[in-house]
Chains A and B, each alone.
Chain A
Amino acid sequence: MSGIPFFPYQASTVAGQVDALYFVWLAVSAVFSLLIAGMIVYFMVRFKRKSEDEHGREVHGNLMLEIAWSGIPLVICLAMFFWGTKVFFDVSRPPADAVEYFVTGKQWMWKIQHPSGAKEINDLHVPVGVPVKLTMTSEDVIHSFFLPSFRIKQDVLPGRYTSLWFEATRPGKYHIFCAEYCGAEHSRMGGSVYVMPKEEYEAWLSGGLAGKPPVVAGQELFSTMACSTCHMAGPASRGPELHGLFGSDVQLASGRTIKVDDAYLRESILTPTAKVVAGFEPLMPTYQGQLTEEQLNSLIAYIKSLPKLEGAAGQQAVAAPPATGGEG
């Protein structure tokens, strides 16, 4: 980088929006700062004390003025609030077609898994112009995934998922930082995000990075851990049917209805008795401590990939996992 840097690169679809907020705020701040500074300097000079026993003329206040300088900042603040919130919603809501990557933070590295199964540490390769969603969790303390050139950041917590999305607009190499203090090597917990044209990305992917797609790994785990004995055993299943489960609403034993999402699946694997589906006994043992974050993610990816079964109601479905995980 040459010269003195003032702004980071704009390399994502939201970067321009955040910068626009920044510039408008800078302008507002400049106006107010200059106004106040000008007022102070003018009064200092104009009303400089002329003799030792001089005192001020009494001005107790001015209601109109005071209303004005309470009201005008309020209006500006509220306008900026609405604008800032709109940008915030854009940044927090991934588009439905976003490609999902999985990120695990641990002291002091980022482990990243592509949808293809390719794994990287501290680096992230993404295609340009494709919305990417990062589903993130931590194995130990709180971290924060920060991409300054994309103007986005999200804390990464142990024991739950958070997510972040972006669409890169400009090929290049940009910083990844950990922004939440996490211990000795906090400042070294980072790397680079490489934004590549689509073809280059495909070529990079086929460059022989080992790893199974999470859906496939999840399917294997599903059978080695014998999940299917309860969850895909036909009409007499002791556990709920998993086909088409993700994204649907289920009724719990407590009477509450809940939408099945990543967090619910994660909780139901780790602490199965927390939210039992109505009509089932709390029989499932906990898998806390028996699965790594990656394995857990693979299982969830597999469950998410199971399509809704046609015809008969879910409960009578034939226990047949899909041939390959590809069509999830």
Chain B
Amino acid sequence: MSSAAATAEYPKKHYLNATQGILSWLLTKDHKRIAILYLVSVSAFFMLGGLMAMLVRLELLTPAGDLLGPDSYNRAFTMHGVLMVFFFLLPVVPAILGNFVLPIMIGAKDLAFPKINLLSWYLYMAGGSFTLYAMAQGGVDTGWTFYAPFSTTYSNSYVMATAIGVFINGFSSILTGLNFIVTVHRMRAPGMTWFRLPLFIWANYATSLVMILGTPVVAIAIALIGLERVVGLGIFDPARGGDPVLFQHLFWFYSHPAVYIMVLPAMGVISELMATFSRKSVFGYRLVAFSSIAIAVLGFLVWGHHMFVSGQSVYTSVVFSVLTMLVAIPSAIKVFNWSTTMYEGSVSYDTPMLYALGFLGLFTIGGLTGVMLATLGFDIHVHDTYFVVAHFHYVMVGGTVMAYLGGLHYWWPKMFGRMYPVFWSKISAMLVFVGFNLTFFPQFIVGYLGMPRRYWQYPDEFQIWNVLSTAGASVLGVGFLLPSFYLLWSLKYGKVAGPNPWGAVGLEWTTPSPPPTENFESIPVVEGGPYDYATGEKIFVLKGKEAHVV
């Protein structure tokens, strides 16, 4: 932390106390307050999804199905998937961190459509309510993938309520993406050219493209599943000549790019963290920026790699295999560029940086196992096994969640103006890293051994790896719970952070913490690139007043 923090004063008037009362929150149009609304609700869904994960892991401690019945188990892992994918991973970085810092980072007073932003949150809550309703009624047992004809004809669970929940939530995502795209195009401060945009903005822009073009396809696919269940349409019904594999195509056309909705903004966070905590510009800024767009575009062309054993044509699989290999390249570029950003830098070991470094390690493993899975001959053995489960948790948890926690610890002092206890935050980062590896590394091995996913009981010889995994999950659980205690504690008792506790450049650090309702006293004029640490001179001019940086 820089010395600036020592003398800092907590501002008197800011977005948190600008207006009072519960309604001033529920009807707010301030992007920062909406971010806080998301923070609260997304965290709640994360806890619920985590609880489901614990149930699943506990059941798998022993080979026999003893803790839960098969139906309860199937509902537990389905709810885990639905809650985590649709109500945690998709919104977590864009809707919380993006909502809060995106307008500030580009020097805008708010997103382009504040009312639509609030509507997004309400849609998210409405979708969440339907899903919770389904859960309270007894849950849903189709897996988060809703494959037909199981979901349409055979499942006796609350598929419809869940499908409505996911459908509505999709529009929350679409509207967030729409807001971000328009904001980045139209709301940039004077002098904020495209190549002066922080990489977090590039990443969120790329994400928004995927949200806009992918989400409606899964919305219609899931709507058709719902209509098939309730009204009796027969578009995916094999008994009437319909094709269940068509549903898989429509589903994965979105749900693969959805992975990039989850991981691209996370990558954006990592770019910011690596620059700030190395006090240096990101190595190869343009390549990193373009690789985000490349990932978003290529991400639309690889969905078929989820279907190598689905019965699609052999040649289709070959095409999807090679395209998937190609999408690995921009990801590899990013990892190398982030690592070399530290070269000749001034590297600190602050908590957000620990998360960022953890991300680099885990995402590398997630990415490498990803290209392994793209290899056709290899995939047919490990497809639908725990190898795949381990892979996507390395990408989703090791990638997205690590980056989110890093970003949250990075921007927390900006959001609330106070610092959390450094010691506990580092302990928690360590627990998450260790617990994560202990949970998911054994799953690679048990997956290669042949343990299929979504198994409620399994042959005895797989037990040793499942025991390790469950042990890891409990460490991971503690690592995830800790922040909720010390972060809440910091709201009241934390040290006052000051406008720029990290000595970072970037527009968000030129405004007070917490920022005023309209973010800046006056709209800034940008005169330099996003990571100009080396010059050490003025970078932003706040109408007459110079913002001193570093």
A83 touches B311 (CB 8 A): no
Within 8 A of B (CB), among A1-41: 1, 4-8, 14, 17-18, 21-22, 25, 28-29, 32-33, 36-37, 39-40
| 15 pairs from A and B in contact (CB 8 Å cutoff) | A33-B364, A43-B343, A49-B279, A56-B344, A58-B534, A59-B283, A62-B283, A69-B336, A80-B371, A154-B380, A155-B310, A157-B244, A160-B238, A178-B452, A180-B147
* Of B125-133, B261-269, B454-462, the one touching chain A: B454-462
**Bound form: Cα–Cα A73–B361 in Å:** 17
- Enumerate B237-255 residues with CB–CB distance to A below 8 Å: 238-239, 241, 244-245
With A73-B328, A78-B325, A182-B150 known as contacts, the answer to whether A88 contacts B380 (CB < 8 A) is yes
The yes or no answer to B340 lying at the interface (CB within 8 A) is yes
Q: Which of A4, A14, A154, A187 has the most CB of B within 10 A?
A: A187
Cα–Cα distance between A84 and B383 once the two chains are bound (Å) = 14
Which 5 residue pairs are nearest across A and B when measured between Cβ atoms? Answer: A148-B450, A87-B377, A56-B280, A84-B375, A159-B238
Q: Which of B153, B381, B534 is the one whose CB lies under 8 Å from A55?
A: B534
Identify the closest chain B residue to A17 (Cβ): B377
Whole-angstrom distance between the Cβ of A266 and the nearest chain B Cβ: 12
Known contacts A49-B346, A49-B347; A61 and B284 CB within 8 A of each other: yes
**What B residues does A37 contact at CB under 8 A?**
361, 364
Are A7 and B375 touching (Cβ within 8 A)?
Answer: no
Among A97-105, A136-144, A229-237, A243-251, the one that faces the other chain is A136-144
A-chain residues with CB within 8 Å of residue B459 when the two chains form the complex: 175
Is the C-beta of A158 less than 8 angstroms from some C-beta in chain B? yes
Distance A207 CA – B121 CA, assembled complex (angstroms): 67
A302 at the interface (CB under 8 A from B): no
Q: Once the chains are docked, how many angstroms separate the CA of A44 from the CA of B274?
A: 11
Chain A CB within 8 A of B82 CB:
no
Contact A183 B154 (CB under 8 A): yes
How many Cβ-Cβ contacts under 8 Å join chain A to chain B?
A: 296
B contacts, CB < 8 Å to A: 1-3, 65, 70-71, 74, 141, 143, 147, 149-150, 153-155, 238-239, 241, 244-245, 278-281, 283-287, 309-311, 314, 317-318, 321-322, 325-326, 328-329, 332-333, 335-337, 339-340, 342-349, 357, 360-361, 364-365, 368-369, 371-372, 374-381, 383-385, 445, 448-450, 452-462, 464, 503, 533-534, 536, 550
Query: Bound complex: CA of A5 vs CA of B333, how far in Å?
Result: 36
Give the residue name and chain of the B residue nearest to A190 (CB): B452
B347's nearest neighbour on chain A, judged by CB, is: A47
Contact between A175 and B325, CB atoms less than 8 A apart: no
CB nearest neighbor in A for B459: A175
Q: Is A318 an interface residue (CB 8 A)?
A: no
Q: Report the separation of the CA atoms of residues A94 and B241 in the bound assembly, to the nearest whole angstrom.
A: 27
Q: Establish whether residues B317 and A7, one from each chain, have CB atoms under 8 Å apart when the complex forms.
A: no
Q: Which residue of the partner chain B has the closest CB to A145?
A: B309
Q: Are B154 and A107 in contact (CB under 8 A)?
A: yes
- Do residues B456 and A8 form an inter-chain contact, with CB atoms below 8 A? no
Taken together as a complex, chains A and B put the C-alpha atoms of A28 and B371 apart, in Å, by: 11
Question: Are the C-beta atoms of A50 and B381 separated by less than 8 Å?
Answer: no
How far does the alpha carbon of A316 sit from the alpha carbon of B2 in the complex, in Å?
97
Say whether A256 faces chain B, with CB atoms less than 8 Å apart.
Answer: no
Known: A8-B450, A25-B372, A158-B244. A179 touches B361 (CB 8 A): no
Taking CB atoms and an 8 Å cut-off, the chain A residues in 63-87 that contact chain B are: 65-66, 69-70, 73-74, 77-78, 80-81, 83-87
Q: A80-B375, A85-B321 are in contact. Are A151 and B381 (CB under 8 A)?
A: yes
With both beta carbons as reference points, the residue of chain B lying nearest to A14 in the complex is identified as B377
Task: Tell me, in angstroms, the Cα distance from A97 to B229 when the chains sit together.
Answer: 44
Per a CB cutoff under 8 Å, which of B149, B284, B380, B462 touches A153? B380
Most buried by A among B154, B377, B380: B377
Q: How many residues of A contact B (CB 8 A)?
A: 89
Are B450's CB and A36's CB within 8 A? no
Q: Which of A36, A59, A80, A84 contacts B343 (CB 8 A)?
A: A59
- Measured between beta carbons, the chain B residues less than 8 angstroms from A69 are 332-333, 336
List chain A residues, Cβ under 8 A from B445. Answer: 6
Beta-carbon contact of A179 and B325 below 8 Å: no
Q: Which of B380, B448, B503, B550 has the largest number of chain A CB atoms within 10 A?
A: B380
Q: Report whether B333 and A60 are in contact in the complex, using a CB–CB cutoff of 8 Å.
A: no
Q: Does A223 contact B (CB under 8 A)?
A: no
Most buried by B among A70, A77, A149: A77
* Among candidates B317, B349, B368, B453, residue contacting A33 with C-beta atoms closer than 8 Å: B368
Q: Are B244 and A184 in contact (CB under 8 A)?
A: no
* Known contacts A60-B281, A181-B150, A271-B241: A146-B377 contact under CB 8 Å: no
Which of chain B's residues has its CB closest to A147's CB? B450
Q: Please name the residue on chain B nearest to A80 by beta carbon.
A: B375
User: A257 in the interface, Cβ–Cβ < 8 Å?
Assistant: no
Task: State the CA gap A185–B150 with chains docked (Å).
Answer: 13
Contact B377 A91 (CB under 8 A): yes
Quick check: B150 and A55 within 8 Å, CB to CB? Answer: no
Q: In the docked arrangement, what's the CA distance between A83 and B357, Å?
A: 33
What is the bound-complex CA distance between A159 and B503, given in angstroms?
64
**CB within 8 Å for A52 and B70 given contacts A59-B283, A183-B150:** no
Q: Chain A residues near B332: list those with CB within 8 A.
A: 69-70, 73
